[in-house]
Structure 1
Amino acid sequence: MNAIDSLGLGRFGIYTFDFEGLGAARIRDHAQELEDLGWPAIWVPEAVGREAFTHAGLLLAATRRIRVANGIAQIWSREARRTHGAALLLADAHPGRHLLGLGYGGVPRPGVKPLAAMAGYLDELDALAAAPDNPAPATPVRRVLAGYGPKMLELARDRSLGAHTYHVTTAHTAQAREILGPDALLAVEHPVLLDADPGRARALAREHLAPYLATPYNAAKFRRLGYTDEDFTDGGSDRLVDDLVYWGDLDTVAAKLRGQLAAGADHVAVQVIGTPPGGSALPHWRRLAEALV
């Protein structure tokens, strides 16, 4: 059995920031409907106030089968002992349903090397696992690492079940698969818009991409894929926008998402963008479920 089959993530899942702006009751209702629609996995970030493990615990408790993945729990948000204890409890309470996604995350830290920081954090987690203070769950904690560059992808391959990537092209997915090898998990997030109007779709896509294009390490990531300074002007070139945000009618978007699988991804976490604050992408998730799950 390969990594994707053993984890039960399916080929497509949901990635969403929407729950950051919803109350607990609406989050529960949404998670239950996503499960009823057949979505096998929900990925949630830790970026705008929700704490990674309480968020995952709420979603797991509200559902029966769906997998819940942290995409990502930031290593700077808590010491390794707290991450270890939280992950153990979730694995014990919801066997086989929680995926611990870890990442460097947060603001740049001058003088701190992300690779060394992540390796050190994993060393602490492994030491805690070797001498546990808490009961070991019947189903062990499963972890993946957020990775982009070759060294972080190698660390993900060697020290976890695989890698979770964010805002990448199919070219990067192919490169990541080559580094990870055939057996490690490669879970790729990709933003989408179910809108066939080029002007409107690209405007929303540029609004979504603006903070990422303004971040030096993201810009460097895109440059390594062959984009130039011209691709970063005026909110991003059409080429860059179209590669990073799939837009169009349902069939067009679904076909592009399947292209990530063809490039080497095991699982694609689909992020519907353009939802207003406090709103929900549920109508779009319903339509996407018809095409993908």
Structure 2
Amino acid sequence: MSAIDGMDLGRFGIWTFDLEFQPASLMRESVQELEELGWSAFWFPEGAGREAMTQAGFLLSSTERMTVVNGIAKIGAREPRWTQGAAVLLADAYPGRHLLGLGVGDPRLKPLQAMGEYLDDLDATVSANPQPRTPVRRLLAAYGPKMLELARDRADGAHTYHVTVGHTAQAREVLGAKPFLGVEQAVLFETDADVARSIAREHLHMYFTQKYNIAKFLRLGYTEADIDGGRGSDRLVDDLVSWGDLDTIVGKLHDHLDVGADHVAIQVLGTEPGHSTMPHWRRLAAALLPQRTAA
């Protein structure tokens, strides 16, 4: 399996929105417990609550070993020089522990053009300013072949979100052997098929109504009938969200590794408002990280 020089993300990590609106003290306690459980990578999106680079710095300052990954920092949210400046500071302050994940995050932009121009500006900033001893490492959010090629050629690899095991295999083929491939996988601890699919559909509805996501699913061989007007067929929902008991979920996570992923970032769905996902992270740590939790 490929890796990013100087970084240890492990084979499994956490991908979550859950800390987005927590008070800082609780966010610190949560991420510290996750680190103690043995999780070596923490991925978080850029939502409406907090600025991505500031949050990355706070999470890094709250932990000792864990790699913190922007999954993603939106390129439209800040100018390239500020993104690079923040990433340089984090690379210098926390060597080998910050991974800058970049994504377009704006349907109004032409993704490939916007990302290419942003990378040009980032690279120009690199050449004009002193760099840390530990280099800035970056991933691109990528789905289609052309963005995956850009991630292969101009980043350390790719980060995919809401994809199938089949897509992971295709992404590895495009990337080739060396670039890093990190895959998000949504999981749901629910064994009742009707309940599980209802929860999954609520989460996925937005992705079944966005043109660029629909195009992604159609490229994977699904049909308009699978999109089902934004509802999603059972087949598509089941391929995107792993639901069931612990063994079923763990098996799906390993499937991504078997076809070429280097790392799977796990997003837990289905937690009731006001309830913590920590019990699920504990169960998953015991199943996926036995050597780390036993240490």
TM-score category by the smaller chain?
A: over 0.9
Q: How far 1:277 moved relative to its partner?
A: 4.2
> Is the CA contact (8 Å cut-off) linking 1:21 and 1:278 kept in structure 2?
no
Pairing of 1:14-163 with structure 2 (within 5 A): 14-106=14-106, 108-109=107-108, 112-132=109-129, 135-163=130-158
Give the number of equivalent residue pairs. 288
2:35 counterpart letter in structure 1: E
Q: Does 1:199 align with 2:167?
A: no
Q: Taking structure 2 as the reference length, what is the TM-score of the superposition?
A: 0.94
SS at match of 1:20: coil
Q: Does 1:223 align with 2:218?
A: yes
Determine the C-alpha separation between the residues in 1 that align with 2:5 and 2:30. Answer: 25
Q: Does 1:251 align with 2:243?
A: no
RMSD: 1.4
Determine the C-alpha separation between the residues in 2 that align with 1:213 and 1:93. Answer: 40
Determine the C-alpha separation between the residues in 2 that align with 1:244 and 1:2. Answer: 24
Gaps of 5+ in 2: 290-295
SS at match of 1:272: strand
For residue 268 of structure 1, the aligned residue among 229, 246, 264 is 264
Determine the C-alpha separation between the residues in 2 that align with 1:5 and 1:149. Answer: 25
Pairing of 1:155-194 with structure 2 (within 5 A): 155-194=150-189
Larger deviation, residues 225-234 vs 40-49: 225-234
SS at match of 2:238: helix
Deviation string, structure 1 residues 46-72 (Cα, Å, up to 9, x no partner): 023221111111110000000000000
Quick one: structure 1 residues 130 and 278, their matched pair in 2 at CA, closer, same or farther if it must change by over 3 Å? farther
2:13 aligns with: 13
Determine the C-alpha separation between the residues in 1 that align with 2:84 and 2:4. Answer: 23
> Is the CA contact (8 Å cut-off) linking 1:15 and 1:43 kept in structure 2?
yes
Determine the C-alpha separation between the residues in 1 that align with 2:191 and 2:5. Answer: 34
> Is the CA contact (8 Å cut-off) linking 2:156 and 2:179 kept in structure 1?
yes
2:278 aligns with: 282
Deviation string, structure 1 residues 193-227 (Cα, Å, up to 9, x no partner): 01111111111111110111111111111111111
1:217 counterpart letter in structure 2: Y
Q: How far 1:275 moved relative to its partner?
A: 2.5
Quick one: structure 1 residues 4 and 88, their matched pair in 2 at CA, closer, same or farther if it must change by over 3 Å? closer
Q: How far 1:21 moved relative to its partner?
A: 2.4
> Is the CA contact (8 Å cut-off) linking 2:4 and 2:156 kept in structure 1?
no
Determine the C-alpha separation between the residues in 2 that align with 1:51 and 1:167. Answer: 23
Larger deviation, residues 242-251 vs 3-12: 3-12
> Is the CA contact (8 Å cut-off) linking 2:10 and 2:40 kept in structure 1?
yes
Larger deviation, residues 49-58 vs 33-42: 49-58
> Is the CA contact (8 Å cut-off) linking 1:31 and 1:62 kept in structure 2?
yes
- What is the aligned-residue identity percentage? 64
Q: How far 1:276 moved relative to its partner?
A: 3.6
Gaps of 5+ in 1: none
Determine the C-alpha separation between the residues in 1 that align with 2:280 and 2:188. Answer: 9
Deviation string, structure 1 residues 135-187 (Cα, Å, up to 9, x no partner): 52221110010001101000000001000000000111111000100000000
Larger deviation, residues 50-59 vs 273-282: 273-282
